[in-house]
Structure 1
Amino acid sequence: MQKNEDIQIFSSIAKIYRAMQRELNRRFQKLNISYLDFLILKATSEGPTTMVGLSRRFYVTQPAITSAIDRLEKYHLVERKRSAEDRRVIVITITEEGKRTFEEAVKIYTELASEILKDLGEMDDVLMKLNKILEKINEIENK
């Protein structure tokens, strides 16, 4: 019986993630970004990164990252630069406009999280436990 429950839990997590991603894509449209673009802006706001690094970090293909970077560059949200150490490596940095867009996107992201979790206020202890479990799963995945 445990295997069926495990599958059901894993399936629920995947469904929640897809639903959240769809809703964020819808809400981010007014900023001309997608959820993947948001993740790239977040990563570049933490410091310059490579195309390969972004691809590995977000489990997407390099062509998907290239397409996203093309789009972000079109709106002047990120810049591509050649690495000074290795000219074959392309480094992605966020622009000032990208920082402003990212800040707006964080507000949208936070609003959605608040909307979803607002009715669960009386379950704070359960949510804290769930968060610890999800962090543990994430740690296993990132090993």
Structure 2
Amino acid sequence: MLPGERALAQRWRFCTLVGHGTIFARVDMRRGTTQRKWGSEIEQPELESKQLFRSVLRKMSTYCRYTDKRFSASQVCAREVLHAQGSIKITDLADTLSLSMSAVTLLSDKLIAQDCVTRQRSAEDRRVVCLAITERGQSTLRDITERENKIVGEWLAGLPDSDLRQFNRIFQHILANAKTVE
């Protein structure tokens, strides 16, 4: 932080928003707004939503550590895709997971070493390599899914059905917005 920014930070509340860099803001609780240094306004609920969303994302990033420390989130997602779709080409798995081919190759190597996935050559074209989930992979996926359901159940415990429906509607809207940004 530069010396001038330090003085500004003492007068204004200091916060960092994802993708927006550093913002100095002054909160006016009577008007329910937050002013940036440059004079434009952000509504207080929007700022609070961004901060809450960031906190939830941080909590969710540690989510896989709660379910099973042996597997990364990508490994769990790959198993879920393979379980749902059966044998799938590596390129299709990369597209589904939004990962590069090199990342999926590394991911598949780890899953094969754990005996959770097998590589198979396509019957139509020997150049095409497919992945399929093994019985062990399905078994560990069931265990992880049970733990996930327990954790999510604890996180959402006590919320009325009306709040859960609104929560689902809001997250569907956020997901739709996120897809347009990609």
Larger Rg: 2
- Report the Cα distance in structure 1 between the residues aligned to 2:89 and 2:78, rounded to whole angstroms: 11
Superposed CA deviations along residues 89-114 of structure 1, whole A, max 9, x for unmatched, are: 22110001111111001011111101
Taking a change above 3 Å as real, the CA distance of residues 126 and 97 of structure 1, as seen in their structure-2 partners, is: same
Map 1:64-83 to 2 at 5 A. 64-83=103-122
Per the normalisation by structure 2, the TM-score is 0.64
Letter in 2 for 1:36: S
Match of 1:109 among 148, 151, 168: 148
Structure with more strand by fraction: 2
Query: How much does 1:76 deviate?
Result: 0.6
Aligned residues: 139
Letter in 2 for 1:124: D
Map of 1:36 onto structure 2: 74
* RMSD (Å) for aligned C-alpha atoms: 2.6
Point out 4+ residue stretches in structure 1 off by more than 6 angstroms.
Answer: none
Percent sequence identity is 22
Per the normalisation by structure 1, the TM-score is 0.79
Superposed CA deviations along residues 78-133 of structure 1, whole A, max 9, x for unmatched, are: 01112222322221100011111110010111111012111x42x32122112022
Segments of structure 1 that go 5 or more residues without pairing to the other structure are none
Superposed CA deviations along residues 31-71 of structure 1, whole A, max 9, x for unmatched, are: x2221111111111112222222222222222222111111
Segments of structure 2 that go 5 or more residues without pairing to the other structure are 1-40
Higher relative contact order at CA 8 Å, sep ≥6: structure 1 or structure 2? Answer: 1
Map of 1:128 onto structure 2: 165
Letter in 2 for 1:43: V
Taking a change above 3 Å as real, the CA distance of residues 112 and 66 of structure 1, as seen in their structure-2 partners, is: same
Mapped contact 1:28–1:35 kept (Cα < 8 A): no
